[in-house]
Structure 1
Amino acid sequence: MPFFDGSQKKIGQGAQAVVYLYKGCAYKVYREDYPKEWIQGELMTQREIVKTGLPVVHYAKTEAPNILKMDYIDGITLGDQMLAGSAPNSLQDMVQLQKKIHTHTNVHLRSLRESALQDLAVLEAAPVRKARVQAILDTIPEQTNLLHLDFHFFNIMRANKRYYIIDWINARIGNPVFDFARSYLLLYEAMPDLAWKYRTLILSDPAIDTAHWTPAVYVSALLRLKENSNEATVELIQSTECELFG
């Protein structure tokens, strides 16, 4: 029996799932071949995030194993607001939200270090580069702050005069410098001019510990090759290598 009655409306699509609006709620429909344990993992991660009290959506199971039910946010992403020229303080708002995420500690999630080492083990990269990443991970102090790790303008929604943070599938606990570095990397790939402005905001904020900024950017960029290799990522790897290792 079909899950929907034909009145659903497609409101979003990613590589792994399509999102529909149906009877006042959003439904994330994953590909039939998408591993069910990964869907369950995303559900459990979101439930942990909800416990923090951050402005996020709630997830729930449905009778269909490849469909999750979510709160529907009738709003617009910060990215779309920027494109429309209606978000003059977008970078500042983004950084403040990101800092708010990091105030939460000891959330029941995997550590960044654990997942980074797992990714490093299967990464196709020169041994010297992998050794450098291992050394950096051993050097940067391990912490238990909540990290989003996919934090950018299109994962921030504005509705009812407040922001909501979406898409927590990559969330981990660890040192906040890695979350800032990852956001910088994502901006560097898509919006280089904004990336440099974001970098300036981070490095000039006395409340943010940036002692390990460049090593964290290097680790983030190299591990990014596992999921996406493009000219900007390679360029960032090379520039940080020169800065760190000469």
Structure 2
Amino acid sequence: MTFDGTEKIIGCGAQAKVFLYQNFAYKVYNPSYPAEWILFEKNQQQEVNKAGLCPIKYYDTDDSHIIKMDLVKGDTLEVKINECMKANSAEKESEIINYYKILAEANKFVHSANKDGLKIPRLYDFAAQVLIGQDKEKVLSIIEELSGRMKECINHLDLHFLNIMLLHDGSGYRIIDWMNARIAPAVFDYARTFVILDEFSKAALEAYKQVVLPDLWASGVSKDDFSSAIKACTILRQWEKT
């Protein structure tokens, strides 16, 4: 497909750009990005729709490297937090804490969804497919051990401030970008976010520890088990970068 010049770029990542065009969002992938991965992302979104976790619909276009999506009219938590940090006031500090509470709420919302009948891959199977050698052995051992003692659920596995949007109409938030969603114990979702924040912002990580992680401890997860999940997520994160 071709745009008529009225499109406006509203997002940019390593593998794709997102444009606003005729009241829809269009995700345009780099030509080198595998078409089968794009199809997988669309299938993931369909499963998430079924689970009631995100009402955003994806639509086919006549170009396999372009996805048409419902437009989310809102701002990411990252935008809102950055606005508060620039204001640098006690009132804004309280507002930032509230945004972390939204992240905590989003975790519980995702993990409470019914996974039965959904075609979302298990984290164990994904790790078995992409990792090799000692990394594979370590990660699979951790996932198997924790899955044997903990309930499995849907994990977003990329749940951070760029992937939660506050709606302009004040009706709540939307969780976006479900490409990494897998079935596993919820501890891996918390661990994945920990790894990402540790990589990009120590200050954000400290706030995450104070506001979000108490929910994990309250669920009965031990710090040793969390440490194991962090090790697995760190290895998987390193694989992503290769």
TM-score, reference length from structure 2: 0.85
Contact 1:181 1:216 in 2 (8 A): yes
1:55–1:163 CA contact under 8 A, matched in 2: no
> Residue 147 of structure 2: SS of its match in structure 1?
coil
Offset at 1:130?
A: 4.9
CA drift of 1:3 comes to: 1.8
Contact kept in structure 2, 1:20 and 1:28, CA below 8 Å: yes
Which has the larger share of helix? 2
Mind listing any 5+ residue stretches in structure 2 that lack a counterpart?
85-91
Q: For the residues of structure 2 that align with 1:42 and 1:70, how far apart are their CA atoms? A: 12
Correspondence for 2:159 = 151
Q: CA deviation at 1:115?
A: 0.7
- 1:223 counterpart = 2:236: yes
Match of 1:173 among 171, 176, 183: 183
Identity of aligned residues (%): 36
Residues in 2 aligned to 1:98 and 1:26: alpha-carbon distance in whole angstroms: 25
Counterpart of 1:238?
none
1:98 maps to a residue whose letter is N
Does 200-209 or 146-155 show the bigger shift? 200-209
Secondary structure in 2 matching 1:28: strand
Match of 2:128 in 1: 117
CA distance in 2, matches of 1:204, 1:19: 35
Question: Which deviations, in whole Å up to 9, do the C-alpha atoms of 1:25-81 show, x marking residues without a partner?
Answer: 011111122211111111111011011222442111111211110011121101110
Per-residue Cα deviation, 1:71-122 (whole angstroms, up to 9, x for no partner): 1112110111000016431111101111110011233210011112223227
Task: Tell me if 1:140 matches 2:146.
Answer: yes
CA contact (8 A) 1:109 1:172 kept: yes
Shift of 1:194: 2.1
Quick check: 214-223 or 136-145, which moved more?
136-145
Aligned position for 1:31: 30
Letter of the structure 2 residue corresponding to residue 133 of structure 1: V
Separation in 2 of the partners of 1:110 and 1:6? 39
The aligned runs of 1:1-246 (5 Å cut-off) are: 3-85=2-84, 87-88=95-96, 89-104=98-113, 105-106=115-116, 107-121=118-132, 127=134, 130-141=136-147, 143-159=151-167, 160-161=169-170, 162-205=172-215, 207-211=218-222, 212-228=225-241
Q: Extract unaligned runs of 5+ from structure 1.
A: 230-246
* Kept after mapping to 2: 8 A contact 1:3/1:64: no
SS of the counterpart of 1:227?
Answer: helix
Partners in 2 of 1:190 and 1:170 — Cα distance? Answer: 19
RMSD after superposition: 1.9
Rounded to whole Å, the distance in 2 between the matches of 1:4 and 1:135 is 49
The letter for the 2-side match of 1:225 is: Q
Hey, what's the Cα distance between the residues in 1 that align with 2:174 and 2:55? 5
Distance 1:109 1:181 in 2: 19
Contact 2:101–2:212 (8 Å) recurs in 1: no
| Structure with more relative contact order (C-alpha pairs < 8 Å, separation 6 or more) | 2
Classify the secondary structure of the residue corresponding to 2:51: coil
